[in-house]
Structures are given as structure tokens and as C-alpha cells.
Amino acid sequence: MRAIIQNSVGGPDVLVIADRPDPSPKAGEVLVRVKAAGINPVDGAVRAGYYPLLGEPPFILGWDISGTIEALGPDVTGLKIGDAVFGMPRFPRQAAACAELAVAPVDEIAPKPEGIDHVQAAALPLAGLTAWQGLIRHGRLKQGQRVLIHAAAGGVGHLAVQIAKARGAYVIATASPEKLDFVRSLGADEVIDYTTGPLEEAGAAHAFLATRPIGKVVLTV
């Protein structure tokens, strides 16, 4: 298979395309034919050596993937060869997603939604899981609660707005002037231009931050 590897840390110029042996899935794993791989800030930080999750090079970057099942390891059920899947396997260990083939634990991938393509699916896992875990797993957001989402037009923020609305929450969102309409289009109930002054003075956000009653959630992303 072809893979994007690096033999030293540094800028984008350290990335090179090279041939590597095809990986094989073990028990509980699947082999994915990668159609698209997402790139997140963590990838750049690891590449540059600022965040040495993978130790010393050589290594293959990438965690977010979308593709099709190429082979099944022993004891894998519920999936078949050819199924479209996506996910963020093995983080923070090496997943080697920036390659034509990648091995993933079967419980760390999911069927790709039919309404999105592989490129869109590969952009979802890290940002989507961050938003979901912040709101649902840790924030325990429930219907009728209010949530304040900062940087609501960002990668995590724009997904957090949609998740919160799908859960029936009242969403107050902050964004820069040129992104206010985009955030409104996601369903935010109130949108605040954070460049106009202290957030604590911005209408509903002032009351929200001043009272902080039980049942309201503030998510900073």
C-alpha cells in the first residue's frame, strides 16, 4: 500500500509518500480501504513534534477515516466486506490513517451515514466526538436546558450547536461577525457577536452567566 510517512518531525515538507506492507486485521479488528482521512490540529502538532503522542519517527499520521471494509479479522460480527464505515480508531495511539489501508478495532468504527460522502464522514469523528462528549457524556444535556456554545462556527462548535438542538436544548451561540448567519442557519436560538464587547454584557448571555441556575450548561469549545 501507499502511505504518507515522516522520518523526522517538522513542517509539511517532512511528509513523503512511500510503499509499506499491507496491514492485516487481528481478532476483533477490520481492515479498512481508506477513501478519505481527516486532518485535525493534533495531526499538525504531532507532525511538528509539539505533541509527541507517537514517540519518535518514523510513523504514519492520521486518526479520522472513512472507507470500506476490505477484510475482517477473527471474531468480527455485524459487518461485511464492502460495508462503508467511518471512525477515529486507536486515538491517541497510532492509527496510521493517512494510508490506503488501515486496521481498526471493530468497536471503534461505525457505519457511514448514507446521507454524507466519505470526505464529509472523515471530517466528523474527532470534532463530533468532542462535541458529543462535552454536551452529552459530561454535560448530561437534556431537553429544555440552555447551553452557551463559544466559537459556534468552529469545527467542534458547529457540531455542538446541531447536537444541542437535536436534544431539544435552547442554544445561545457566540461567533465572529462574518459567521453569525452561518450559526443561525444551524438552528441557534440566539447568536452573539463576541467582538462587540464583554460577553457578560450581551443580553441573554448576561442573564445566563449571572444566574447559572442548575439545569443550564455552558460549553466552551
pLDDT in tens, the chain (221 residues): 999 999 999 999 999 999 999 999 999 999 999 999 999 999 999 999 999 999 999 999 999 999 999 999 999 999 999 999 999 999 999 999 999 999 999 999 999 999 999 999 999 999 999 999 999 999 899 999 999 999 999 999 999 999 999 999 999 999 999 999 999 999 999 999 988 876 666 655 554 554 444 344 555 44
Please give the CATH number for the structural domain made up of 2-122: 3.90.180.10
User: What's the pLDDT score for residue 135?
Assistant: 93
How far, in Å, CA of 99 to CA of 34, rounded? 7
Do 77 and 28 touch, CB atoms closer than 8 A? no
Strand order through the sheet with 15-19: 15-19, 2-6, 59-60
**β-pairing verdict for 101-105 and 59-60:** unpaired
* Domain limits, the chain: 2-122, 125-219
How far, in Å, CA of 149 to CA of 55, rounded? 34
User: What's the pLDDT score for residue 196?
Assistant: 86
User: What's the pLDDT score for residue 116?
Assistant: 97
Q: CATH fold of 125-219, please? A: Rossmann fold (3.40.50)
Whether 2-122 shares its CATH topology with 125-219 is answered no
Q: What is the pTM of this model?
A: 0.85
User: What's the pLDDT score for residue 12?
Assistant: 97
Do 209 and 220 touch, CB atoms closer than 8 A? no
How far, in Å, CA of 117 to CA of 203, rounded? 40
